[in-house]
């Protein structure tokens, strides 16, 4: 499956969220990651983020896709991450 | 079509980007917006952002979907935006 992850963590926890997200996905911009991931790794990723997050202050949104056939990705301006898996 | 927009603008231009993105899409988190949009409004949105952005410093990624049938949205933690159009 393909995942786009966007997080909004308080500053004191953001380094942890970055480290975890990078283990599983490609960093593309600011607090945005994407990539192909197995179901089991997706479960692991969510568990690891849940462990470090404060669920009353922090937020993570996952967009998951069975197929990327129906989606497109377009960039304006700087391409910040080095993306291996582009939609 | 359905759009997810994520931007990374320098601070001095971020208020403008926020204002433009909000005109067309729903704010869901930090620098993330989503929503249904017509093709012509999508073109307008891109033009307006291009007008205010510094293309050597700022960045916008658009993920567009013809259908949201193949995608899912999952949140951990706080739901920050008030989302009308959830995938």
Tokens standing for residue A75:
């960039």
> B83 vs B45, which has greater pLDDT?
B45
Among B49, B63, B75, B83, the residue to mutate for chain A (most A Cβ within 10 A) = B63
Separation CA B36–CA B4 (nearest Å): 9
Dihedral sign, Cα of residue A34, residue A38, residue A41, residue A45: positive
Domain over A2-65 is classified CATH 3.30.70.100: no
* Cβ contact A25:A37 at 8 Å: yes
Residue B86 has pLDDT above 70, yes or no: no
Predicted confidence at residue B27, as pLDDT, reads 95
The answer to whether A79 contacts chain B (CB < 8 Å) is yes
Among A2, A10, A42, A59, the residue to mutate for chain B (most B Cβ within 10 A) = A59
Give me the tens of pLDDT residue by residue for chain A, a chain 87 residues long.
999 999 999 999 999 999 999 999 999 998 999 999 999 999 999 999 999 999 999 999 999 988 777 789 999 998 877 555 444
Separation CA A49–CA B36 (nearest Å): 29
Q: Which residues pair with A2 in a beta bridge?
A: A36, A65
Domain boundaries defined on chain A: 2-65
Q: What is the pTM of this model?
A: 0.86
Distances (CA, A) of A26 to A82, B7, B84: 8, 17, 29
Tokens standing for residue A45:
């990723």
- Non-local CB neighbours of A14 within 8 Å, separated by 6+ positions: A7, A31
Tokens standing for residue A14:
């953001």
Q: A67–B65: do the CB atoms touch at under 8 Å? A: no
Nearest CB to A6: which of B6, B56, B67? B6
Predicted confidence at residue B85, as pLDDT, reads 44
The answer to whether A86 contacts chain B (CB < 8 Å) is no
């Amino acid at each position: 499956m393909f995942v786009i992850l966007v997080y909004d963590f308080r500053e004191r926890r953001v380094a942890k969220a970055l480290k975890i997200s990078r283990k599983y996905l490609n960093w593309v911009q600011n607090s945005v990651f994407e990539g192909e991931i197995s179901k089991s790794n997706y479960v692991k990723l969510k568990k690891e983020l849940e462990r470090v997050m404060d669920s009353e202050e922090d937020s993570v949104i996952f967009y998951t896709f069975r197929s990327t056939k129906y989606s497109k990705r377009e960039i304006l301006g700087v391409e910040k991450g080095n993306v291996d898996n582009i939609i």
